[in-house]
Amino acid sequence: MTVKNVEKLEKSRVALEVAVDAEEFEAAVAKAYVKMRGKINVPGFRPGKAPRKMIEKLYGPEVFYSEAVDASFPEAYEKAVVAENLNTIGYPEVEMVGDVSAEGYTFKATVAVYPEVKLGAYKGVSAVKDEVVVSDDDVTGRLNDMAERNARLVSVEREAQLGDTAVIDYEGFLDGVPFEGGKGEDHQLVLGSGSFVPGFEDQVVGMKAGEEKDIDITFPEDYTAELAGKAVVFHVKCKEVKFKELPALDDEFAKDVSEFDTIDELRADTRKQIEDERKKSVDVAFENALMEKVGEGIEADIPEILIEEQCRRFLDEFKSRLAAQGIPYEQYAKMTNMDEAKFMADGRDTAIKQVRMDLAVAKIIEEEKLEASEEEIAAEYKRVGESYGMDVETVKKYLSEGDIRSSVLNGKVISLVVDNAVVEEKPAEEDKPAEQQAESEN
């Protein structure tokens, strides 16, 4: 193998012209003969027994060339990449240069490489950092949420209201005939939850226990094909109306839902929890703003494939989140008219920002000569395990040491940037553009 020419192209691509000599090609042809001889018919010989020269005489010496090129190209390409010390990305585009003969062949491989990166500022970078403020209303709101989760349902004799739970039997009819999936018994329907067909819950409001009525409903046009846009009648029997009774926010409530004896202690602990959550959120937002600026500051000729790969990662992560919620991606795509191409196109700007940040991080690690010790890697394995409720050995099945090492190094870069950062003053409301003020008010 000989590298005849190396040409640097725009967008961090490289064109390699590589020659495979006669000796290398002959070895590949010999292997091709062994692989193919059983599939070639030669009169007078059993399958796989015909000599190579006999096959070449009958079909021409070129009979093995295509297979030999396919077999020898990957090794020749990899040797050329190593010889030129290239850090390639993805697969090359390949074209033959001239003809293939017993003397070998020449090919041109065009491939993206990791770009050369020139760092901008990463020490002394500034960004706005929000203050952490927790109001009494924030604490009360969190306690009210806890009360909601500990509420009990109490039967009432009055008419059902929004927010009540109506226990109902129902059956749907299309043109007087029951339809599949339209029947239920003892269903506990939270009125106002929007869990039934639009218009259904509104007509249950006002019913009392023991009352029966017919409800006219027209299914939405985007419903299942069998019922889309169809007018149906549901016969509904209200069997019970339940009211959600919330516990009082007092000392007894604190004892029931926590380890505290008084509501004041629970309030203080709740305030601290909210403060800790918001501080973490503010810190992450500050870090992200800083790292985005660091990424914006680099100079690099970024290859398109890096952006495409990041878009694909965003898509795969989104599919995983949908799957975790029990939503098939195909169903979501149909409902939202969002195909993969549109998703990736919409995420392109965000992907570019992420790629620039990743390139900046890698360059800072190089410039600062950052390393991850064995102790730090072990500690990170332990931290990840604790956050997911796994032991370290289980974590190792999912994350390689290389993954953990990258996590440790990325954390060091972020700490380096944050520790040397400058906190900007938040602009006063009167100094903001009108559209930003409107957003703040909303």
Q: Are residues 297 and 203 in the same domain?
A: no
**Does residue 254 lie in a domain region?**
no
Same domain for 240 and 304?
no
The single-letter DSSP state of residue 243 is E
Residue 119 lies in a domain: no
Radius of gyration for the chain, computed over Cα atoms and rounded to the nearest angstrom: 34
Nearest to residue 74, comparing CAs of 121, 24, 30?
Answer: 24
Residues 6+ positions from 389 with CB-CB distance below 8 Å:
none
Same domain as 290, residue 432 = yes
Q: CA 423, CA 428: separation in Å to the nearest integer? A: 15
Residue 128 falls inside a structural domain: no
CATH code of the domain in which 426 resides: 1.10.3120.10
Same domain as 412, residue 268: yes
Amino acid at 136: D
Residues 223 and 267 in one domain: no
pLDDT digits (tens, 9 = 90+) for 278-302: 999 999 999 999 999 999 999 999 9
Using the 3D structure, point to which of 113, 136, 171 is the last residue of a domain: 113
Confidence band of 427 (pLDDT split at 50, 70, 90): confident
Instruction: Give the CATH number, domain containing residue 207.
Output: 3.10.50.40
pLDDT at 429: 61
Q: Does the predicted model carry a pTM greater than 0.75?
A: no
Looking at the structure, tell me whether residues 174 and 102 fall in a common domain. Answer: no
| Whole-number pLDDT of residue 428 | 67
Predicted local confidence at residue 439, as pLDDT: 46
Pairing of strands 126-128, 422-424: parallel
Report pLDDT for 440: 46
Residue-by-residue DSSP string for 120-173: ---SS-EEE-------HHHHHHHHHHHHHHT-EEEEESS---TT-EEEEEEEEE
d(CA 142, CA 147): 9
Domain boundary (113, 141, 174) is at 113
Q: Is 64 exposed, middle or buried (0-12, 13-18, 19+ CB in 10 A)?
A: buried
Residue 241 and residue 339 in one domain: no
In a domain? residue 303: yes
CA 237 – CA 167 distance, rounded (Å) = 9
Given 82, 113, 144, the domain boundary residue is: 113
Residues 238 and 269 in one domain: no
Q: Is residue 146 part of a domain?
A: no
Same structural domain for residues 339 and 408?
yes
Chain centroid to Cα 409, Å, comes to 22
89 with 22, same domain? yes
Angle between the N-to-C axes of helices 374-388 and 401-419, in degrees from 0 to 180, rounded to the nearest 10? 100
What residues have CB less than 8 Å from 170, skipping those under 6 apart? Answer: 182, 183, 184, 187, 234, 235, 236, 237
Q: Dihedral angle at the C-alpha atoms of 276, 279, 283, 286, nearest 10 degrees?
A: 160
Question: Is there a contact between 334 and 160 (Cβ–Cβ < 8 Å)?
Answer: no
Q: Can you give the pLDDT at residue 42?
A: 86
Position 47 scores a pLDDT of 82
375-397 pLDDT, tens per residue? 999 999 999 999 999 999 999 99
Residue 39 lies in a domain: yes
Give domain status of residue 375, yes or no. yes
pLDDT tens digit sequence for 209-239: 999 999 999 999 888 888 889 999 999 999 9
Identify the bridge partners of residue 169 per DSSP, sorted by sequence position.
Answer: 237
Mean pLDDT of 260-280: 97
Query: Per residue in 15-27, pLDDT tens?
Result: 999 999 999 999 9
Residues 163 and 237 in one domain: yes
The pLDDT tens digits of the residues spanning 72-82 come to 999 999 999 99
Regarding whether 271 and 366 lie in a shared domain, the answer is yes
Between CA 68 and CA 75 the distance in angstroms is 12
pLDDT category of residue 339 using cuts at 50, 70 and 90: confident
Range of the domain at 187: 152-245
Indicate whether 79 belongs to any domain.
yes
Number of domains in the chain: 3
